[in-house]
Structure 1
Amino acid sequence: MKILVADNDKLKLTLGGIIVGLLSGLVVSAFRWSIAKLLVVFQGVYTAARSNYLIVVSLVILLAAVGIFISILLKSEPNISGSGIPQVEAQLSGEMKLNWWPILWKKFVGGIMGIGPGLFLGREGPSIQLGAAVGQGFSEMTHENGAFQRVLIASGAAGGLAAAFNAPIAGAMFILEEVYHNFSPLVWVTALASAVSSNMVALYVFGLRPVLDVPYKFSMPVKYYWHLLLLGIVLGLLGRLYQVVLLSMPKIYSKTRIPRNLQGIVPLILIIPVGMLYPMFIGGGNGIIINLPKLGIGLTMLVGLFVLRFVFSMISYGSGLPGGIFLPILNLGAIIGAIYAVFMHDLGFLPLAFESNLIIFAMAGYFACIGKAPFTAIILVTEMVGSLKHLMPLAVISLIAYLVVDLLNGAPIYESLKERLNIDNSFLNKASKFNDRLEISVFEGSPIEGKYIRDIPFPKDILIIAIYRGESQIIPRGDTVIKAGDRLVTMVNASKRAKIKRILEELIN
């Protein structure tokens, strides 16, 4: 009977995931389409402003007004600030309660108005939060709560990323690797169902062409793989620099004495001269990535482009405007790959024909080390470029870059951003009338591996109701031995879930 219930739960959540995915696909596709169209309009206006001071004055007034409008949205709902991924992580871990409807429409409107003028922000973070809000809204309408609600929120987030990048597998993987940090069957099946259905909507709207259709001529021979080691080290060092600078931006902005919700006016005004000088280089950066091999620009220009993109990405995201860092990170990685390829070509160590290859590889490596999510990086770039030929070099460079940042004590960027959220968790001190499900995975080398349950100092406020070992379900007893790979299913008071999760993670890991 227990297996039947579990199967019914999976089927119910899978169907729910499909519906959430379809809804997320519609919302995110509209969001993505609006940003792309608005960016084209602003690029034309910036170009026209070069010879018309009246347009420049009008732009200053317009974008200042946009900044004030977004500041009103931020003041009324601070949780639409930034990418939204840290907020989703905090929500799924039980540390934060969010109201889905205000976040849905305010993030949608604020994201379009903040990203559309050409700021160096990505659509993917907001897309993940929009999808999560859709999942939460659906779960509340269907009266789901606890674990089922969280799974639907996570599936919506996966659908949001899938629709933003036409990358359904990466959407599901990101939720598992970056948010949940384990492969719970309830989560991955529902997330995959949502991601696939959401991607179907995006494919219908935007077509089958890969988001980053980077042209390349040849697969990289093994004799040049030593370049992957060097480039991986460079990416790791620059990735750690990215983490440090990004996390210090709120402190830098505080020195301006501009109220936090009004700081978005700064990048919105600064984008005007940038857009007038380099209209082709503004925005999230996917157009730059696609055209980078065709530009034929020299090393100095590439370095200048990297500095411009790096500095203004920090200014854009650090202001707190609704917008992400996902795509800007990939863009910076692509530019680093191009710089390395041109530099090594000038030294006579690498044919320039492999520039496109290194652009593709460096995107994965840079995201892998900054987000510390190498599997997501590999799959994401594979899906975005539409080719499976790069899996081995993608894995090599992602691993090297990841290890470099790890040696430099770099933490996952979204986890670090989550820790800096101003979270009101006063609700955690109030006992709930509901119990909630909490799953914890036992990894290889865990301190409790090989121990009897009765000998493990579990918190008194939990009840272990099941142990999943592969596809088998074990009813726990005092003499049950814990093994690596087990998933412990516990019941806790809903208000204490986040606190007990931290205690169990410290105990088990």
Structure 2
Amino acid sequence: MVTGCAADTGGVSAWKTFSQNIAHAAAHFKDAQTMRHITQDSGFGLKTEQVKRRHILVKAVIIGLVSGGLACAFRWTLMQVEHGRTGALAWLRENAHWAAGLLAAVGIGAAGCALALWLVRRFAPETSGSGIPHLKSVMLDQAEMCWWRVIPVKFAAGVIGIGAGLALGREGPTIQMGGATGQMVSRWFRVRGGEGERKALMSAGAAAGLSAAFNAPLAGVMFVLEELHGVFAPVLFVAAFVSSVVADIVCRLLLGASPVFATPSIAAPTLAALPLAAVLGLVCGFGGVAFNKVLLRSLDWFDGLRARRWPVIAIGALAGAVVGIAAWICPDVVGSGSHLAEHALGGGLKVIGVITLMMLARFALTMWSFGSGAAGGIFAPLLVIGALVGLGTGHAVHQVWPPLVEHPEIFAVIGMGGLLTAIVRAPLTSMVLIIELTGKYDFMLPVLTCSLIAYGVAEAMNCAPIYESLRLRALEKSAEIAPAA
């Protein structure tokens, strides 16, 4: 009996141990499945299993509506201010002495840039520059987003600064304001701060901002996946896609459905353009590396003025005065540069010397404007520079061997994609954006060829992407200021 009981007890214990092992294994499998679900749905920086695509659709639609409307208001206001500035300077050229006109141009630039820079430094330092590096830091939990100050300051400072002539673009402000809008909407729906859904909504707002800035919904989606996060996550894709499409519809209803750069006269490139597109990729690769290095140096130079205790208003006035002189001499090289890009794409510039001079002037003014710390992006300026680089390359080859390049303006489109890729290091976003900007889908192969070569050159030279360099630089500056504070 004892033996039987002992055997029975042993059997029960063995069975109990076996059952516990099975339970532990099942629990481990369930945890693994949960973690896999978290990773797949959330993506880089989104650490929650509660983010579901069906929960985010309504919020993404609202973000698209709000961000699209805000971006349209920014675009329209900026166009009116720029039109007013160019109209005033044109009137002065016809009716005033050149010295009086130059003084007025310098005054407009100095006053506008000083006010714009003061707004940034006084109320929201994170709105300096494009705002994209700040948004990336927010996604990495390395910075905070305060939507209630980012939106009004970025809007006002961007309109005033770019309107006064700073050679900056509108896409940086609309992306950062879009990200802030995403945070604002997440507050409306009481999304908890620790949940990845808030980051997904902010990313959706950023996508909507780029979409509305350039009438480019696909580029908005690609930008979030390729540049802002660097991974594909279903929840990010759904939120960005919905908000981008909604923002694009809003923008087309309010401001028109035409591509930002209308190029009806450009002939479609043939396969014969691919070798020169590859050569242009080399040029854009080296040009992109130079752009990144000089841009960082310009920021250091203006930081040196601040270290010598120059007042913010004085720095802004200095930056604006130089811009004002340039605006009086050649109005097309200042501001957003859309007219200059249209001239390049439309074949209006044909002399290599003039093209080169315009390109160098625009490059210098972009470095000067961004280095000051004013609110504004670099997408539009580098697209203008890329168009001029491509156009100049096309005309140079045309003069040597006309049959090889019958339409040099083709390479203005290709150059935009190549330089954007070399600087930002996002080839898919660059290709999609250029196609949506121009409406020329038959440019896909040469743009892709140029972009991949430019990407390889920049990578081979160990040049970091510009937004990553700017983000790390901002974090380093914050770490230097923190102990002193």
Shorter-normalised TM-score: what interval?
Answer: 0.7 to 0.9
**Kindly tell me: are residues 328 and 7 of structure 1, through their superposed partners in 2, closer, same or farther at Cα, counting changes over 3 Å?**
same
Aligned with residue 368 of structure 1, among 421, 430, 433:
421
Secondary structure in 2 aligned to 1:101? helix
Structure 2 letter corresponding to 1:279: P
**Kindly tell me: are residues 217 and 253 of structure 1, through their superposed partners in 2, closer, same or farther at Cα, counting changes over 3 Å?**
closer
**Kindly tell me: are residues 230 and 58 of structure 1, through their superposed partners in 2, closer, same or farther at Cα, counting changes over 3 Å?**
closer
Aligned with residue 179 of structure 1, among 224, 228, 231:
228
Deviations 1:483-502 (A, max 9, x none): xxxxxxxxxxxxxxxxxxxx
Question: How much has 1:59 moved relative to structure 2?
Answer: 4.6
**Which structure has the bigger radius of gyration?**
2
Secondary structure in 1 aligned to 2:387? helix
Structure 2 letter corresponding to 1:114: G
Secondary structure in 1 aligned to 2:408? helix
Question: How much has 1:346 moved relative to structure 2?
Answer: 0.9
Secondary structure in 1 aligned to 2:441? coil
Deviations 1:6-50 (A, max 9, x none): 898211212211110110001010001111111111112222333
Secondary structure in 1 aligned to 2:143? coil
Question: How much has 1:260 moved relative to structure 2?
Answer: 7.3
Aligned with residue 65 of structure 2, among 14, 22, 45:
22
Structure 1 counterpart of 2:76 = 33
Give the aligned length. 427
Please give the alpha-carbon distance, in whole angstroms, between the structure 1 residues aligned to 2:390 and 2:311. 35
- Contact in 2 for aligned 1:229/1:397 (Cα 8 Å): yes
Structure 2 counterpart of 1:468 = none
Aligned with residue 333 of structure 2, among 281, 296, 305:
281
State how 1:25-104 maps to structure 2 within 5 Å: 25-50=68-93, 51-52=96-97, 53-73=99-119, 74-104=121-151
State how 1:155-166 maps to structure 2 within 5 Å: 155-166=204-215
Structure 2 letter corresponding to 1:77: A
Please give the alpha-carbon distance, in whole angstroms, between the structure 2 residues aligned to 1:266 and 1:341. 36
Deviations 1:329-356 (A, max 9, x none): 1110000011001100111255554222
- Contact in 2 for aligned 1:235/1:362 (Cα 8 Å): yes
| 1:332 matched to 2:376 | no
Secondary structure in 1 aligned to 2:462? coil
CA RMSD of aligned residues (A): 2.4
Please give the alpha-carbon distance, in whole angstroms, between the structure 2 residues aligned to 1:353 and 1:253. 44
Deviations 1:135-189 (A, max 9, x none): 1111112111320111111100100000000000100110110010001111111
TM-score (norm 2): 0.83
Aligned with residue 215 of structure 1, among 229, 253, 264:
264
| 1:390 matched to 2:428 | no
Deviations 1:401-441 (A, max 9, x none): 10001111111110110001147589xxxxxxxxxxxxxxx
- Contact in 1 for aligned 2:106/2:322 (Cα 8 Å): no
By percentage of residues, which structure has more strand? 1
- Contact in 2 for aligned 1:214/1:356 (Cα 8 Å): no
Aligned with residue 117 of structure 1, among 164, 171, 183:
164
**Kindly tell me: are residues 77 and 212 of structure 1, through their superposed partners in 2, closer, same or farther at Cα, counting changes over 3 Å?**
same
Secondary structure in 1 aligned to 2:262? coil
Please give the alpha-carbon distance, in whole angstroms, between the structure 2 residues aligned to 1:340 and 1:36. 31
Please give the alpha-carbon distance, in whole angstroms, between the structure 2 residues aligned to 1:136 and 1:47. 42
Please give the alpha-carbon distance, in whole angstroms, between the structure 2 residues aligned to 1:242 and 1:318. 12
Q: Give % identity.
A: 31
Aligned with residue 152 of structure 2, among 105, 109, 126:
105
Please give the alpha-carbon distance, in whole angstroms, between the structure 2 residues aligned to 1:339 and 1:155. 37
State how 1:136-285 maps to structure 2 within 5 Å: 136-144=183-191, 145=193, 146-256=195-305, 257=308, 259=310, 261-262=312-313, 263-285=315-337
- Contact in 2 for aligned 1:155/1:191 (Cα 8 Å): yes
Question: How much has 1:275 moved relative to structure 2?
Answer: 1.2
Structure 2 counterpart of 1:290 = 342
TM-score (norm 1): 0.79
Structure 1 counterpart of 2:457 = 404
- Contact in 2 for aligned 1:43/1:280 (Cα 8 Å): no
- Contact in 1 for aligned 2:107/2:324 (Cα 8 Å): no
Structure 2: runs of 5 or more not aligned: 1-29, 42-47, 481-485
Please give the alpha-carbon distance, in whole angstroms, between the structure 2 residues aligned to 1:360 and 1:61. 36
**Kindly tell me: are residues 394 and 271 of structure 1, through their superposed partners in 2, closer, same or farther at Cα, counting changes over 3 Å?**
same
Secondary structure in 2 aligned to 1:354? coil
Question: How much has 1:283 moved relative to structure 2?
Answer: 1.7
Please give the alpha-carbon distance, in whole angstroms, between the structure 2 residues aligned to 1:343 and 1:43. 32
Deviations 1:54-87 (A, max 9, x none): 4544454444333343233222210110000000
Deviations 1:202-222 (A, max 9, x none): 101111110011234432222
Structure 2 counterpart of 1:348 = 401
Question: Which moves more between the two structures, 274-283 or 295-304?
Answer: 274-283
Question: How much has 1:237 moved relative to structure 2?
Answer: 0.7
Question: How much has 1:224 moved relative to structure 2?
Answer: 3.2
**Kindly tell me: are residues 236 and 187 of structure 1, through their superposed partners in 2, closer, same or farther at Cα, counting changes over 3 Å?**
same
Please give the alpha-carbon distance, in whole angstroms, between the structure 2 residues aligned to 1:255 and 1:197. 44
**Kindly tell me: are residues 65 and 273 of structure 1, through their superposed partners in 2, closer, same or farther at Cα, counting changes over 3 Å?**
closer
State how 1:439-478 maps to structure 2 within 5 Å: none
Aligned with residue 56 of structure 2, among 13, 17, 25:
13
Structure 1 letter corresponding to 2:328: M
| 1:312 matched to 2:365 | yes
- Contact in 2 for aligned 1:126/1:322 (Cα 8 Å): yes
Please give the alpha-carbon distance, in whole angstroms, between the structure 1 residues aligned to 2:473 and 2:323. 27
